[in-house]
Amino acid sequence: MSVKSKPDAKVPETTERKFSKAQLLKSAQYQDQRDLLCALLEDGQRYSLTEVNKRIQEFLKREM
């Protein structure tokens, strides 16, 4: 008799919604940072709000 093992219980990942560059540029949340987003984000890519905020903070912390 073969014993079937139960599949490992996977911990559900918290997935954030991702948005295109165009959607983020239209967002009221980033209305004051549109020029910065144009420079930091790539067309055709999708970004979570966490990723966008992280990129903005990293850019602002850079030394000039």
What is the mean pLDDT, run by run of 10 residues, along the chain of 64 residues? 60 81 96 96 97 96 86
- What pLDDT does residue 64 have? 77
Nearest to 23 by CA among 40, 48, 51: 48
Backbone φ and ψ for 39, nearest 5 degrees, come out as -80, -35
- What pLDDT does residue 48 have? 97
β-bridge mates for residue 48, sequence order: 18
Query: For the chain, what is the largest distance between any 2 Cα atoms, rounded to a whole number of angstroms?
Result: 70
- What pLDDT does residue 5 have? 57
- What pLDDT does residue 15 have? 85
Distance CA 39, CA 35 (A): 7
54, amino acid identity: K
Domain ranges of the chain: 18-61
Distance CA 19, CA 9 (A): 30
- What pLDDT does residue 9 have? 60
